[in-house]
Copies of this chain bind each other. A is one copy, B any other.
Amino acid sequence: MSNQRIFSVETRGQGLYEFTDGVRRFVSKNSIESGLLTLFVRHTSCSILIQENADPSVQYDLDKFLSKLIPDGRHPSMNWLTHTQEGPDDMPAHIKSALLPTSISIPIMEGELVLGTWQGLYLFEHRRAAMTRQIAAHISG
């Protein structure tokens, strides 16, 4: 079993897409007792994020807060943007990707990710159009 792989996540608009289960299976197949999992997203207009997976209202409010903080390019408060030729959601997506994680590392202890009880792994899509997003995963000893 390789200690590396690429995860693909299909997105259909802004918001959080959970992929915890696939990552847990990848870790489990590696049969490593003690190690470190690193995830890295290969894009600059989406993010990876650990958030609460118990109540969907957390994800809803988080997405809404970020869109208030960094509105779409058509919002009057964003009329100073110069990078507009890829669509009004592109530059706000780059800003969100700067503020949220591009890589996350999680220790593996006793064969399992040390994620807390309520922690889930998400691809956070910042673009409106449907996208195929790649997340590179690596397990170190």
Contact = CB atoms under 8 A, between A and B. Distances in A.
Interface of A: 3-4, 6, 34-36, 38, 40, 42-45, 49-52, 55, 57-58, 60-62, 64-66, 69-70, 80-83, 91, 94-95, 97-109, 114-116, 118-119, 134, 136-138, 140-141
DSSP majority for the A interface?
mixed
7 tightest A-B CB contacts, nearest first: A42-B116, A107-B138, A57-B83, A114-B136, A44-B52, A107-B136, A57-B82
Contacts of A40: 105-107, 114
Contacts of A50: 44, 102
Contacts of A62: 94-95, 98
